[in-house]
Amino acid sequence: MGKSILILLLLSMLNNHNKKKPVMEKYEWLATTCASFKYPMQIVKGNFLLQDDDTLKIQGGSMLYNGWGSLGSIYILGDKLKSLPKAINLTWFSITEDKFFSCTADLPVDKIKTLFSQTFTSPITSKPAVFRNIIVGLAPNGTIVLWVSGDKVTKEVCILKALEDKDIKWNDYISNPDYPRKKYLKLKLEDVFAEKDLLALAKNGVDTELYSNKYRQHYYWQPFVACSIKPLTALLYYYNGETEYSPVNDLAQKEERPVPSKLKIAWLNSKNNKFSAEIIFDEAEAFSSFEKFSGIGDGNNVKMQIEITDSSPSVSVFLRNDTHVYPYKNCKIQVFQN
């Protein structure tokens, strides 16, 4: 009886040993970093912990101020195919705040996997494309935002919060005695900012909620092209760092979107000539208009109307609902014949 039980146990162990481990899905992707033009950052150290328990270094050293949600330097590190990140460890120095921040946090790997499994139309090739980059964005007050990006299309993954790290000694960060903290900060700020920007920073201080709160505010609205010509495609850039690309007709549905910072649209006129326009919004006007329209009439029936004339093409932009219309006065619009 005892021998029979022992044999069964051995067979069970052998069977479990021979079972194939689940195959870890891997993707072709690279890591990159960004920070806004307003608030430069400098990474001290960082890495992703991947699903297969491997690590991928997040490069640091140089100052980051390449634009919120933008691709920074891309480092070709590790294998071409990698499992997705499940956690992040990151320490950086915020130049304008004169503070170190550190964060160790789990990442929503299932959401990242879903996004990496999707396809979208590329604004570069007009063919199906996939996300191939993970962008780590650093902002004041310990804000970290992650996006996935590919072919100019960017989608937010999550927002994380780091804590100020007071354990880092300045001499461990900058060991050169010729650069004490005060001198180093002065030189770095002068490298990035013009004199008028330095004066504005000294007067207004650092906006610690801009990237974690204001820029991430969504409103229920849709772009809408009013014209007799044939609209083709639109590329929308949002203040939260996301970009969206689509045939214009596919955008004609209301959904929650951030406030746009820039819009590029292409169309064919009545003679079948192709034109495009770039619309750059004034930040104060853009946020004021969306905030106003969310509180009047039907806040869920807001349209951004783009009016395009056919001959000698010109472009005008309005925000409207069923009862109110606001013509944008401060946006910069350029029209190009392609």
Tell me what pLDDT residue 298 has: 62
CA distance 306 to 308: 6
Please report which helix (H) or strand (E) contains residue 9, including its range.
helix 2-18
Residue with tokens 């330095």: 198
Give me the pLDDT at residue 296, please.
74
> To 10 degrees, the CA torsion angle through 141, 95, 259, 251?
-110
pLDDT of residue 12: 52
∠ CA(115), CA(117), CA(119), 5° rounding? 85
pLDDT by residue for the chain (338 residues), tens only, comes to: 455 544 444 445 545 544 444 567 999 999 999 999 999 999 999 999 999 999 999 988 789 999 999 998 877 767 889 999 999 999 999 999 999 999 999 999 999 999 999 999 999 999 999 999 999 999 999 999 999 999 999 999 999 999 999 999 998 888 787 889 999 999 999 999 999 999 999 999 999 999 999 999 999 999 988 877 788 899 999 999 999 998 887 766 678 999 999 999 999 988 899 999 999 999 999 999 999 998 776 667 899 999 998 878 899 999 998 889 999 999 999 999 98
Note the pLDDT tens digit of each residue in 266-318: 999 888 999 999 999 999 999 999 999 987 766 678 999 999 988 788 999 99
Domain ranges of the chain: 27-164, 217-337
| Block residue for tokens 């608030």 | 39
Burial 215-253 (b: 16+ CB within 10 A, else e): bbeebebebbbebebebbbbbbbbbbbbbbbbebeebee
